[in-house]
């Protein structure tokens, strides 16, 4: 058996899929732990009867985080269409894959396409219930008592722009970009009379970054941190002092990847 990274890269396939992250230990493969990557890879391998490939996702979501439109690509030395139509392939894989995952589409793309490196923007949203706790939705939203929307709108502007988010991630090293990321916008979107989405649009997000920003926003709502303290954490590359606030994972959704 050859190395998965060294197979003849003749054909490149792009898939878009959704998943409920509650029962997974995140997207990335982990030893003896259930992951999205392992489940998707193993089921594609099963249907194609071919194991020598690797899936490249747009990014790794954390434990319990969900996705509406995750994007990935993988290379094969043969055409799937020589075995099945792509519609038939989708049907077969969705019959055997975990019911918490659904492959929405597949298409053959240029060999140059890379789901991670070609991404220009990523859109996530964090779902907050600010009216009444709903036990049936506890795994899909965060209930916040006494949410002040004016304070929320005030603090989110601090994070917009290009900053060093070194104190808003659990990532230990970031050699490629030195913890620099750009958040193009953070929007407060009303879902219904009880819920809002905090919509994050950025060029990429590091581990726990959005959750730590949301946690900090909510800490500001609760008068646990000041705007000055938040600003001092941003771009403070000489003194790493990670914020202690991290919102729970299962209210966070990867909504869309833009290429």
> What is the predicted pLDDT for the residue at 222?
96
With a pLDDT cut of 70, the percent of the chain lying above it is 97
Q: What stretch(es) of the chain map to CATH 3.30.70.580?
A: 4-109
Mean pLDDT of 228-256: 92
Mean pLDDT of 5-9: 64
Say how far apart CA 143 and CA 132 lie, in whole Å: 7
71 strand-pairing partners? 16
121-258 folds as Alpha-Beta Plaits (3.30.70)
> What is the predicted pLDDT for the residue at 257?
98
Say how far apart CA 97 and CA 114 lie, in whole Å: 24
Answer yes or no: CATH 3.40.50.410 is held by domain 4-109: no
> What is the predicted pLDDT for the residue at 6?
56
Mean pLDDT of 80-98: 97
CA of 163: how far to CAs of 62, 64, 132, 160, 213, in Å?
A: 22, 27, 35, 8, 13
Res 63 pLDDT > 90: yes
Tell me which of 99 and 236 has the higher pLDDT. 99
Name every residue whose Cβ is closer than 8 Å to that of residue 125 and which is 6 or more positions away in sequence. 189, 197, 198, 199, 200, 252, 253, 255
Say how far apart CA 21 and CA 18 lie, in whole Å: 9
CB 119 within 8 A of CB 181: no
Per-residue pLDDT tens for 129-154? Answer: 999 999 999 999 999 999 999 999 99
Mean pLDDT of 112-125: 97
Res 1 pLDDT > 50: no
Give the lowest-confidence range in 5-19, 49-63, 91-105, 109-123. Answer: 5-19
> What is the predicted pLDDT for the residue at 7?
60
Q: What stretch(es) of the chain map to CATH 3.30.70.660?
A: 121-258
CB neighbours of residue 228 within 10 Å: 7
Per-residue pLDDT tens for 170-194? Answer: 999 888 888 999 999 999 999 999 9
Catalytic residue among 20, 62, 87, 241: 62
Q: What is the pTM of this model?
A: 0.93
* Residue 5 annotated in active site: no
> What is the predicted pLDDT for the residue at 9?
76
> What is the predicted pLDDT for the residue at 237?
75
CA of 19: how far to CAs of 39, 94, 174, 242, 249, in Å?
A: 11, 12, 27, 29, 14
Res 4 pLDDT > 70: no
């Amino acid at each position: 058996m050859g190395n998965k990274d060294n197979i003849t890269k003749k054909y490149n396939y792009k898939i878009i899929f959704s998943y409920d992250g509650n029962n997974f230990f995140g997207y990335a493969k982990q030893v003896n732990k259930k992951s999205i990557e392992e489940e998707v890879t193993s089921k594609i391998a099963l249907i194609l009867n071919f194991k020598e490939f690797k899936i490249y996702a747009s990014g790794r979501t954390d434990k319990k985080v969900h996705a509406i439109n995750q994007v990935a690509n993988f290379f094969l030395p043969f055409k799937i269409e020589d075995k099945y139509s792509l519609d038939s392939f989708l049907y077969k894989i969705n019959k055997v894959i975990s019911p918490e995952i659904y492959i929405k589409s597949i298409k053959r793309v240029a060999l140059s396409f890379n789901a991670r490196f070609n991404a220009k923007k990523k859109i996530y949203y964090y779902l907050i219930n600010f009216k009444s706790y709903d036990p049936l939705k506890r795994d899909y939203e965060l209930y916040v008592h006494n949410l002040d929307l004016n304070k929320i709108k005030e603090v989110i502007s601090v994070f917009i722009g290009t900053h060093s988010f070194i104190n808003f991630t659990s990532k230990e090293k970031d050699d490629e970009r030195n913890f620099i990321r750009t958040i193009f916008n953070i929007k407060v979107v009303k879902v219904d009379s009880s819920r809002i989405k905090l919509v994050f649009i950025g060029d990429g997000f590091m581990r726990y970054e959005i959750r730590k920003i949301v946690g900090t926003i909510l800490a500001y709502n609760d008068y646990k941190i000041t705007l000055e303290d938040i600003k001092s954490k941003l771009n403070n590359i000489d003194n790493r002092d990670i914020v202690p606030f991290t919102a729970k994972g299962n209210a966070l959704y990867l909504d869309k990847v833009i290429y």
